[in-house]
Structure 1
Amino acid sequence: MNPIEIDTEQCILCSSCIEECPNNYLYLENNAIKTCDKGCMECGHCYAVCPKGAINMANYDCRDEPVVSMTEIDSDMLLTAMKSRRTIRKFKQQPVEEEKISKILEAGRYSPTGANSQNVSYTILGSKQKEAEEICLKLFRRGQKVGSPLSSFLKRIDIDDNFFFKGAPLVIVVSSKSNVDGGLASSYMEIMAESLGLGVLYSGFFVMCTKMSRKLKKLLELEKGHDVVSCMVIGYPNVKYQRIVPRKDLKVKKL
């Protein structure tokens, strides 16, 4: 099925869509915009650039939402806010509202993916959160006793019952075929969560457990070919930081 539908009555033949198409899927012939038999990666650039709204995308929810430029956000304030973020390990026992969860997921949905693959999936642990954490706890507590590569590190830490999720009310597992795509989605989601007054912990230990436990993979019901890229532990922070932390010198090469 052709993913691009063109309303010939609305089209003014400005060729903006042709110029913007990265795959040369669109072309002008006999005073009409035509599409090739294949090659569309459904990026939506033609839909977004058309001045008359003459293009529709099949199988997509086309709402005709107006564009808001990032220049609407004060860049100095944005940079300061990004520098102010901290990994949160203390959370209030306050549920995250469904409206805020939806916004976080929507931010991930609109993150860039290579060739517009849109191959990132999200799993809210919900009722399975405790079970998932218990699986991980058993793995790590066993690792404290045996000679594993992690054992020397694990013996130095206290693995309590909230070690992985810190008692947070919300855990979202991000999975993808691409670490880059999944990582970008996670970053978008974190910025949205922070803007909503929430804090985020990336549980790298949980991601490690997904590579070691078939039981945990089964619980997550991952899509075929997907691996866990990040585990986002989210909730209202129960700690307030007073200043931006220092960083090491910026490393930049100009070639």
Structure 2
Amino acid sequence: MLDFKIEEDKCIECGLCAQDCPVGIIELNPKPVIRREKEKNCLKCQHCLAICPTGALSILGKKPEDSVSVSDEMPKPETISRLIKTRRSIRKYKKENVDKELIQELIETAAHAPTGHNDNAVLISLIDNKEDLDLFRSKVYDSLKNARETGTLEKRFQFLLSYQKLWKTKGVDVIFRDAPHMIIASAPSIDASPMADCLITLSYFELIANSHGIGTLWNGMIKWAIDDIDPELRTLIGIPKDHTIGYVMIFGKSAVKYARGIQSEGLKVNRIKLE
């Protein structure tokens, strides 16, 4: 049941909801309606709710008055451009936790990232306090030590052993960079685009985190540890076996402050012209 409802006194029969429906299941009669036999085709994208100019339409128990309005002030393009251009990978963090309410807000914002076929199946595995991350960090370094002692570490990961030695002998944390928090995005492997869905979600998370002054670092080494070095780490943090891990990100309050952005060399562009 889609719980598709129209407040008739608000509906102006403009037809925008029907025109914008990706699967074309909304009909005008003369008010919008979805036939019961067509409900199964709904993508649950809520485009109909979003486009209704008078707030007459609700669906899936979602009411228009509970949505964020686009009539409020929006950031200027140059503001967003500056945020993107001044983003830096942070490798030095303050030894304190980020407020849990702020972390929750960041995740709720990242939940608006698009996903293939609108599956919305990305799972966020989160360590939101430095005490638990300290424990997980120790597990990762112990896994590297065990792989070295048993000779099971693949050649391509041998360089990680020097980081394990630094941690053991000097307490220098190259892998986690002493960050207080970690977030992992995974999604069911059978989904249309699990890897892309995870990466887009983390990109949304990073941008909103950076706007709050929270530093982030995309961390492939932790992903290797979980995916390729010690499968028990996946079990430890509760990532389902049937999930693809998109990526791992560490985050926290930055201990460094950059004065300006870098000067990018730009992207290679293939301008396509078809005759």
In the other structure, the counterpart of 1:195 is 211
Note the C-alpha offset of 1:68.
5.2
Note the C-alpha offset of 1:234.
1.0
Tell me how far apart the structure 2 counterparts of residues 248 and 184 of structure 1 sit (CA, whole Å): 23
Which secondary structure does the structure 2 equivalent of 1:72 belong to? coil
RMSD: 2.4
In the other structure, the counterpart of 2:144 is 140
Note the C-alpha offset of 1:97.
1.2
Which secondary structure does the structure 1 equivalent of 2:201 belong to? helix
- For structure 1, the 5+ residue unaligned runs are none
Give the AA of the match of 1:235.
G
CA gap of 1:169–1:247, structure 2 versus 1, over 3 A, is: same
2:145 and 2:161 in contact (8 A); partners too: no
Give 2:68's match in structure 1, choosing from 55, 65, 69: 65
Matches within 5 A, 1:142-157: 142-144=146-148, 146=151, 148-157=154-163
Tell me how far apart the structure 2 counterparts of residues 47 and 254 of structure 1 sit (CA, whole Å): 37
Tell me how far apart the structure 2 counterparts of residues 42 and 129 of structure 1 sit (CA, whole Å): 36
Which secondary structure does the structure 1 equivalent of 2:120 belong to? coil
CA gap of 1:192–1:27, structure 2 versus 1, over 3 A, is: same
Percent identity over the alignment?
A: 26
**Deviations 1:74-99 (CA, angstroms, capped at 9, x unpaired):** 32332233122111111011221123
In the other structure, the counterpart of 1:219 is 236
Q: Is 2:22 the counterpart of 1:19?
A: no
1:4 and 1:56 in contact (8 A); partners too: yes
- For structure 2, the 5+ residue unaligned runs are 189-193
Matches within 5 A, 1:87-236: 87-126=89-128, 128-144=132-148, 146=151, 148-157=154-163, 159-160=166-167, 162-177=173-188, 178-212=194-228, 213-223=230-240, 225-236=242-253
Note the C-alpha offset of 1:128.
3.8
**Deviations 1:172-211 (CA, angstroms, capped at 9, x unpaired):** 2222231111101100110111111110012211111221
Give the AA of the match of 2:110.
G
CA gap of 1:176–1:68, structure 2 versus 1, over 3 A, is: farther
Q: Which has the higher helix share?
A: 2
In the other structure, the counterpart of 2:32 is 33
Provide runs of 4+ in structure 1 moved above 6 Å: none
When normalised by structure 1's length, the TM-score is 0.87
**Deviations 1:78-131 (CA, angstroms, capped at 9, x unpaired):** 223312211111101122112321221012111111121111121222464233
Q: How many residues align?
A: 253
CA gap of 1:179–1:48, structure 2 versus 1, over 3 A, is: same
1:87 and 1:199 in contact (8 A); partners too: yes
CA gap of 1:151–1:186, structure 2 versus 1, over 3 A, is: closer
Tell me how far apart the structure 1 counterparts of residues 186 and 71 of structure 2 sit (CA, whole Å): 28
Which secondary structure does the structure 1 equivalent of 2:93 belong to? coil
In the other structure, the counterpart of 2:191 is none
1:143 and 1:150 in contact (8 A); partners too: no
Q: More deviation in 235-244 or 52-61?
A: 52-61
Note the C-alpha offset of 1:148.
2.2
Tell me how far apart the structure 1 counterparts of residues 144 and 166 of structure 2 sit (CA, whole Å): 8
